[in-house]
Amino acid sequence: MPFIAISHRLRAFAAILIAVAGVLLAACSETSSNYQFWRVSTAYSFENKLAEPFGIAFHKGRVYVTDGQNGEIRSFVPGDGEVSTINGFDTPSGIAVGSGGEVIVADPGTNTIKQFTLGKEPSDIAGRANVRGFADGLALEALFNGPTGVAVFPDGRIAVADTYNDRIRIIENGIVWTLAGAERGFADGNGANARFDTPLGIAVWRGEKLLVADSGNRRIRVVEPDGSVWTLAGDGGYELRDGMPASASLVGPTAVAADEEGRIFIADGNAIRAIGLRSFPYLETIAGGERGLTDSTPRLARFNRPSGLALLGRTLFIADSDNAAVRIVHAARAEAGLTISNSAQPLTAAAFRSLQPGRWPYDPPERTREIAGTLGEIRGEIIDQTSEAWFHNGLDIPGAYGETARFIRDEKVLDPHAAENFGTLRELLRMPTIGYVHIRLGHDSDDRLYDDPRFLFEFEPASGKPISVRVPRGAKFKAGEPVGTLNAMNHVHLIAGRPGAEMNALDALVLPGVSDSIAPVIEEIRLFDEIWMEIPAGTALTGKTRVVVKAYDRKDGNAERRRLAPYRLGYELIPAADAATANDQKLTSWTISFEKMPSHRAVKFAYAPGSRSGATGETIFNFAVTNRVDGDTFSEGFIDPATRPPGNYILRVFAADFFGNTSRKDLPVTLGR
């Protein structure tokens, strides 16, 4: 390569470094001492637990929040209590307000950009309604592909993150034109030479620049007024890692906002992050990180797919999508909003199953199938504390390789990255309340791709083979429509409930003909001391003791080999003299429950060493029933002889299935001192 080419590249690279350093240092030189984040609270919780707040914006103290699930916008003044609803949308997403009070909304469900003012009906200002594609030109003749983010420049121009066209577009004087981007990918550069991957949130930064949450590339990008694009933060890694912007990692940025001094705030995965709060360039996590719903100090708070950010002074408002709430990160010691606890339940199983009738994920929809796995079962193997294991979060329904899997409910896509793990055995589509795993999405039994614009395939240029698929936000599917075909796992893994609030699908879905008249089997009871040394049978218990129960369940119609986890387990310690007359119906010590999805951190509290389950090999469920596991709650427990009179007892263990069949097994024990 000629030296002059190298020289040009080095100068270009140096120019980018200087630009990054200059901009970041300018932002960071304005001291951040006023930002002392104090608490996360909840300002507004949607009464409809299926609501999906996505975009959020302010104008003159009024909050506007889009609800992608219900196709409406909520508007309220914090602390006022009165809420207005604006209808006329399909899947409203990103939202911004112009200087004249005009509210701009990206509606990927119709592939349009809409506008309204308070008290007036919304109207299209760009895009052809319900037509997906790419075309610049007159605003109402231009074509978009799932536009998700919008921002308004001070002069009134509108910037659009045209998400599935992987471009940044501008609406100006009734014309739509492309500022940056072309094919999907990652590349800095000028205009059409730049590459984005599923850009979502977008914000004006320092007057003329645009910040872009480049979600698929896991980076924050900057678009200059001339269309040149450079990377501000993120190294493309998958972990939540703070650090200097170029070496820090983002897990999936969805929204970005900036204050008047140029500080940047990012909704990233289940965390809120910032750049510009220190005297040197640094990307840091200021709140959250783990999925959940907790109001607390910023580091202990939890979010669930936050998708929108808006600043009111130094207070940060967040559209917390899968928690159906608007949250606040306070930068001062002042209460605001309603504080709720992490025990709040977004949706009960009874309410969930009443929403739509049940059907099996195959045709015919009423034909009863086997069930090969239930929520709460261990996956992996526990040998010791270093073992990797996790909870199964759904219901496995066997089928034949290549059999067509079908949607079991009417739903529309809300997560912009609903399709994941293309080409792997874990390929899936996550709808708002149901997940479908082990599916070759958009393929028929002969491996032909569906002629369906809701499945956006990307192809390898040389071979023409599909290398990825996206299913865009706002795409709608009906129960019974095909989602794809079974891969080599030969079953549909159904997940019931919203992400982060998964529930036992046997409880949440009324599947036609499903029944269970077979009580769980309790194979054996074993006792261990605090350090997991087994206590020989007949030995008096003098110290804290663990109880481990080997048990499994079966279902009507299942092959004998299919072993399922019981729904609940528990135990009682009964004085031997009272055991014959003890009333089992009064049992209150259900210590392990799989009604709701437990935290994966609890897997070694529910299961003892020797437990294992997976696609191959023997299934063994050893339950540590002296521990407690129920949803997000888990703790260690023991039989403690110091708390009971010495003597002879009956240790009675119980295992129950969802249908009410209960088994018990007794073990005589002696408590000593």
- CA proximity to 647, closest of 571, 574, 581: 574
Answer whether 399's CB lies under 8 Å from 411's CB: no
Whole-number Å distance between alpha carbons of 339 and 327: 9
Residue 150 has pLDDT above 60, yes or no: yes
Residue 21 has pLDDT above 80, yes or no: no
Confidence of residue 617 (pLDDT cuts 50, 70, 90): confident
State the pTM of this model: 0.91
Entry field: residues in the chain:
673
Residue 586 is predicted with a pLDDT of 67
Residue 453 has pLDDT above 90, yes or no: yes
Whole-number Å distance between alpha carbons of 430 and 332: 38
167-177: per-residue pLDDT in tens? 999 999 999 99
Residue 346 is predicted with a pLDDT of 62
Mean per-residue pLDDT, 329-338: 66
Count of CA atoms in the C-beta half-sphere (13 A) of 46: 28
Q: Which amino acid, 408?
A: I
Whole-number Å distance between alpha carbons of 518 and 661: 7
430-448: per-residue pLDDT in tens? 999 999 999 999 999 999 9
Residue 587 is predicted with a pLDDT of 60
Answer whether 268's CB lies under 8 Å from 238's CB: no
Answer whether 489's CB lies under 8 Å from 399's CB: no
Q: Which residue did the predictor score with more confidence, 337 or 256?
A: 256
72-120: per-residue pLDDT in tens? 999 998 877 788 999 999 999 999 999 889 999 999 999 999 999 988 9
Share of the chain above pLDDT 90, in %: 83
Count of CA atoms in the C-beta half-sphere (13 A) of 303: 33
- CA-based diameter of the chain, in Å? 95
- CA proximity to 595, closest of 546, 657, 643, 653: 657
Which pair of structure tokens corresponds to residue 455? 């499945």
- CA proximity to 179, closest of 221, 130, 220: 221
Lowest mean pLDDT among 234-243, 405-414, 469-478, 573-582: 573-582
Answer whether 320's CB lies under 8 Å from 340's CB: no
Lowest mean pLDDT among 139-143, 180-184, 208-212, 614-618: 614-618
Residue carrying structure tokens 């299934």: 619
- CA proximity to 67, closest of 474, 424, 558: 474
What letter does residue 658 receive in the DSSP assignment? T
342-397: per-residue pLDDT in tens? 444 567 899 999 999 999 999 999 999 999 999 999 999 999 888 999 999 999 99
Which pair of structure tokens corresponds to residue 187? 């590349």
How is 503-535 classified by DSSP, letter by letter?
Answer: B-HHHH---TT----PPPEEEEEEEE-TTSPBP
Whole-number Å distance between alpha carbons of 69 and 14: 46
Answer whether 388's CB lies under 8 Å from 394's CB: no
- CA proximity to 39, closest of 397, 287, 271, 366: 287
- Phi and psi (nearest 5°) for 188? -80, 160
- Phi and psi (nearest 5°) for 422? -55, 135
- CA proximity to 319, closest of 35, 63, 36, 88: 63
Element housing 290 (H / E): none
Which pair of structure tokens corresponds to residue 101? 């009070």
Whole-number Å distance between alpha carbons of 504 and 501: 10
Q: Which residue did the predictor score with more confidence, 452 or 343?
A: 452
- Phi and psi (nearest 5°) for 248? -80, 165
Total Cβ atoms within 10 A of residue 464: 7
Residue 266 is predicted with a pLDDT of 98
Three-state helix/strand/coil letters over 152-205: ECCCCCEEEEEHHHCEEEEEECCEEEEEEECCECCECEEHHHCEECCEEEEEEE
Confidence of residue 8 (pLDDT cuts 50, 70, 90): very low
How is 408-459 classified by DSSP, letter by letter?
Answer: SS-EE--STT-EESTTSTT-EEE-SSEEEESEEETB-TTSPBP--TTSEEEE
How is 306-365 classified by DSSP, letter by letter?
Answer: EEEEEEETTEEEEEEGGGTEEEEEESSS---SB---TT--S--HHHHHTTS----SSSST
Q: Which residue did the predictor score with more confidence, 48 or 265?
A: 265
Calculate the CA 495 to chain-centre distance: 12
Inter-CA distances, 296 with 42, 293, 308, Å = 10, 10, 20
Inter-CA distances, 561 with 373, 411, 618, Å = 12, 35, 9
At 673, is the secondary structure helix, strand, or coil? Answer: coil
Residue 477 has pLDDT above 80, yes or no: yes
Q: Which residue did the predictor score with more confidence, 49 or 509?
A: 509
Whole-number Å distance between alpha carbons of 226 and 51: 39
Answer whether 525's CB lies under 8 Å from 571's CB: no
Answer whether 514's CB lies under 8 Å from 506's CB: yes
